Amino acid sequence: MQFTAAAIQFEPVMGEDERNLERLTSMIEEAAAAGARLIVVPEMAPCAYCFQDRAEIAAHVQTVPGPFTDHLSERTARLGCVIVAGLAEVDLETNLYYNTAVVVGPDGYIGKYRKVHQFAGDARWSLEGDLGFPVFATPVGRIGVEICMDAIYPETGRLLALQGAQIICFPTNWIGQGGRPSQRWITQAYENGVYLIAADRWGEERGVQFQGGSCIIAPDGSVEASATSGDSIVYGVIELPRTEARPFADGSPEDKLADRRPHLYREMLQNTYGFAPAYYHRLFDRSGLPEPRRSEIGVLQFAPEMGNPDVNRRRILEMAGGRHLDLLVLPALALPGTPDLPSDDLDALAELSRDLASLIVTTVAERTDSGTYSTAVLVGPEGPIGRHRQWHLTAEERTWAMPGGEPPQTFDTPIGRIGLLAGYDALFWESTRVLSTLGADLICIPAALRWPLPRPIGDGSEWVYWHSKAWESYVALAVANRPGPEYAGSSEIFIPAVKEVDDVEERASRNSEALLCVSFDSGSRYIREKRGMGWRRLHWYTPLVR
């Protein structure tokens, strides 16, 4: 099935509900006349957003079904479309209020979703949603709904995708990002292989600046169309067959959902950060997190020569030997360049660590009696400090390696608490979530990945997959990839901060060889406190580990 969808962007005015509904209805009629069969409008569209308390919003809440859904049903029946729209809901049985989105089709009211993850403004008057994350069968496909803050949490999009959602409809009142699609929205579409239709409001209300940037995002993460600020309608073409297979790239056998390893993700459901970190990590005579320290860390993007560890070793020393680094992350199989060589990689890596006076992270082909693993290793001058047997394998890696199944670990070093992932592992956000739950300050990712590539999103900005993963799990990421043309390159050190303008980023181009170096403070408040991890709503997430 192929059809046109529309995201409506407009500015509701507080206290002018009737006028808001007139304007909204006019834009719905316009979108339908242009051929849109699915129309999404912003969060709390009829009444605006910044209410101080229950008393102030009481005159603006509605039942569901109720007057607003009846109004929409009249239009959907006549226009033959599906509408997803936000409003403030009252439950007459309890007199509790919810930030809600409704789904209405040609045959009338279909269902509703109540916002689960609240922003501070919601908590002034509403209760967290109690309906979970339903997926609705509609004439235009299987629709899941998120509202605004829900998109901060990758659990939301994944729960919808696992239930078969083809389209995520996203009414929102988003702040920040400067009138362009958010990195988080693009990432949700990309990592779940779904369309995402973001309908954002714009304008200023009670000192809050809303961004606009409404858009339609394809399952590969490409932005099909977007708005900046101002009232506008964004149109895009939805091709539902694109959501049936969920590869990371056209033609690749890897699958964004089928390749998950749910039983290995259980630690991510522990409420580690529901408590003060200093208390939690020292409980029961544990030593606590490593003392905060500023360290120099580096990532080396280079193309190892296959089967020639001596040449690769010299190349690493040439590129990195002039910098004093406390930690250096290398691409996958950095010394042999191939898994085929029987070698003493760990001894050679310890020697390299001594020569560079730096901890080293890369992968090795670990041979055991049961088979060969692709194993990420953290090595110091005295030898191995920690390892992680790769959980998720690409089709190419499956030809020589078996998947690891060991529980996740972190490793305490003078640099901080370090987590290890190997390449493809890091494209499953559950892996970074697990290590964050265990208190990782820094996750090191030696890789040989062909995707994802950075993508322009307007105003000279780019979508970079690793940024969303660092922000959402409150960790620093150091990704060392091989350069193109066969590989994606784009190696990265990204350190998120409380204010995104203070983020630290060093990134290589796709094709060049490069050494990236930054100063890393393991005591960063954003990383050590991981406050948003404690705001997750874990009781809804158990399907993620089944």
| Residue-range domain boundaries for the chain | 2-242, 262-545
Buried (b) or exposed (e) across 460-498, using 16+ Cβ within 10 A?
eeebbbbbbbbbbbbbbbbbbbbbbeebbbbbbbbbbee
pLDDT band at residue 17 under the 50/70/90 scheme:
very high
What share of the chain in percent tops pLDDT 70? 99
The three-state DSSP-derived secondary structure of 292-361 is CCEEEEEEEECCCCCCCHHHHHHHHHHHHCCCCCCEEECCCCCCCCCCCCCCCHHHHHHHHHHHHCCEEE
Quick check: is 469 catalytic?
no
Task: Report the C-alpha gap between 28 and 431 in whole angstroms.
Answer: 41
Fold agreement (2-242, 262-545) = yes
Quick check: is 499 catalytic?
no
pLDDT tens across 171-207, in order?
A: 999 987 677 899 999 999 999 999 999 999 999 989 8
Q: Of the listed 112, 115, 469, 530, which one is catalytic?
A: 115
Task: Report the C-alpha gap between 530 and 534 in whole angstroms.
Answer: 7
Mean per-residue pLDDT over the chain, rounded: 95
Higher pLDDT, 45 or 344: 45
pLDDT of residue 177: 62
> What is the CATH superfamily name and number for domain 262-545?
Carbon-nitrogen hydrolase (3.60.110.10)
pLDDT tens across 489-499, in order?
A: 999 999 999 98
| Mean pLDDT in residue range 510-518 | 96
Q: Of the listed 47, 148, 169, 215, which one is catalytic?
A: 148
Answer whether 439's CB lies under 8 Å from 473's CB. Answer: no
| Mean pLDDT in residue range 498-521 | 94
| Mean pLDDT in residue range 501-507 | 93
Buried (b) or exposed (e) across 431-441, using 16+ Cβ within 10 A?
bbbbbbbbbbb
pLDDT band at residue 287 under the 50/70/90 scheme:
confident
> What is the CATH superfamily name and number for domain 2-242?
Carbon-nitrogen hydrolase (3.60.110.10)
Side chain identity, residue 410: T
Torsion of CA 494, 178, 35, 171, to 10 degrees: 80
**β-strands 96-105, 82-91 pairing:** antiparallel
pLDDT tens across 341-360, in order?
A: 766 789 999 999 999 999 99
What share of the chain in percent tops pLDDT 90? 91
pLDDT tens across 387-421, in order?
A: 999 999 999 999 999 999 999 999 999 999 999 99
Higher pLDDT, 458 or 87: 87
Task: Report the C-alpha gap between 513 and 304 in whole angstroms.
Answer: 11
Give the three-state DSSP class for 150: helix
Answer whether 432's CB lies under 8 Å from 264's CB. Answer: no
pLDDT tens across 217-231, in order?
A: 999 999 999 998 889
Answer whether 38's CB lies under 8 Å from 82's CB. Answer: yes
pLDDT exceeds 90 at position 322: no
Answer whether 50's CB lies under 8 Å from 121's CB. Answer: yes
Helices (H), 12-166: 17-33, 54-57, 67-79, 120-123, 154-162
Quick check: is 43 catalytic?
yes
Lowest mean pLDDT segment, chosen from 268-272, 339-343, 380-384: 339-343
pLDDT band at residue 501 under the 50/70/90 scheme:
confident
pLDDT exceeds 90 at position 250: no
